[in-house]
Structure 1
Amino acid sequence: MFGKYLLATKPWLVAANVLSAAAGYLFAAGGRLEAWPFAAAMAGITLFVAAGCLCNNLIDRDLDRAMDRTRGRVLATGRLSGRDGLRLALGLMAAGAALLLAGANLLSLGVVAAGFAVYVGVYSAWLKRRTPYATVVGSLAGAAPPVAGACAASGAFDVQAIVLLALFSLWQIPHSYAIAIYRLDDYAAAGLPVMPVARGVAATKRLLAGHILAFGLATLVPWLCGYAGRAYLAVAVALGLGWLGLAAWGGTDPDDRRQARRLYLFSILVVCGLSVMLAADAVPRVEP
């Protein structure tokens, strides 16, 4: 039973979000780390993200059954009932809220709850089945964990939180477009109007490259604002240029899905590298 519950929460996606949340916290903390607030914030955000993933699986059960890569999910197959899944999601949310209120602050809870609402209520339940631009809205939910981590550390929705919101939202869009091209047959079979289904692969590739360029420029902002050091800058520039180069020069590959898979895998390297450097090379806060 534990295994079924765990699989329903998309554990790999949860782990990636926790990494970005930890990066947001340490970036905003500027090198100061208090064990209990950090642990409570990470645990609370983890539980909220897990609840969001579980609710997404609940909403998408019919879509998952239509796609090869997802038809074996525990909620799609009925190995975990919708009622049990909903009970688990509510329990995870309650525990996450309690931890954030006890160890972090109300603002961090508000941010992660807003991310949950966007991901579950706006993206999953409404826009995903209606418009190819759902990815743009959904990207805001993807940025909620690092922003919540930053707010847990600083207690304020300040410039650093806004920078994180821009960075992780801009990363999410080309990452999602790459997945959509790579898994085009699955999305078409499910009738989902993702960008390559609705607008074509060529148009999606142009949008993907444009968003990578915007993301690369945004990664300069933490250094320009004095929030991160030169080591961060060097890694961010290298990752941004590498991702953009792969999108541009990889365009000569006649197999669009093979190229999209490379872009998707490289995007994971990008977000992991960026998260690590935001945390490791954050400029210490100067207390007034």
Structure 2
Amino acid sequence: MTRLTRRSALQLAGASLAAATVPAVAAGEDGWTAVETPVDSTLHDAADTATDVHAVGDGGVLVERRADRWEVVHRGGPTGNGNDLFGAAVTDDGKRLWIVGASGAIGEYDVTTGNLVDRSAPNDFTANFNDVAVTGPAGDADVYVADDSGSIHYSFENGAEGTWEYAVPGSGSGLPAIEFHGARSGHAVDTDGRVYATDDGVTWEPIGIEDANATFYGLDSDAPDDVTVSGGNATVHEYDGSQWVPESLGDADLLDVDTDHGEGYAVGGGGTTFEYDGGDWTRNQTPTGENLQAIARGDVDVAVGAGGTVLER
């Protein structure tokens, strides 16, 4: 892939930002610190943007990491109805954050101006939207939204009204996660233990996983031959383009996974966090017992979860 990866693009966009210190609540032995947040409801997803990390959660809340604190920047979601937000993804230049959630909620948030555009209920679909993937720059993005009914809704014209289509990769089982590694190349997982791949953003083909015996929750798509899936019973599956290699790390559900350049994390139930060094997964000690829903990596690595929990490292 010749274009910048999402992580490297964001590092360039935010190169001048210091790794600011947010007031700590508690610290763990492996460098994770629980910090103060302005919310006590569940935060479901997080993304590193051109300004700093943003997270979304119940009640349509959107919070941003600032120089010395976390701050609520929007409440009520894109429709203002307070629909829970489950997924977040950022454009390649880090300037627009796309957010999705319950009852067809979709929004495009400009992290530099604070403007939120409502793009909810494409083609009158009001299913619960679980996750979103975005490729391209602000204002000219391809957007992909995975729902609870097994459909992937996509727009190649920045989510403009009338430009949405949809595909059903599998049997209609819910799709908890979707991620792209190229302009129109990526992966999605469903609750039936299947992983799907696309190279045109429209057609999807199953690539496993046979006899997975676990419900999938998290997905990291870095290349056609570099895919990681996390799920129940602390299971991680890694794909090299020809086969899936499973590894069981314990008994907690791993709800999200993010690896890149041979390092990363998987997070999940009861504050569970595993660190990846390119060969092995090692459990980190964290100062929380709350369920961790998502991980966002950047200058400061951030995990978010139940009760407004935010861990930083």
Q: Shared topology, TM-score over 0.5?
A: no
Judging by fraction of residues, say which structure has more strand: 2
Find the structure with the greater CA-based Rg: 1
Judging by fraction of residues, say which structure has more helix: 1
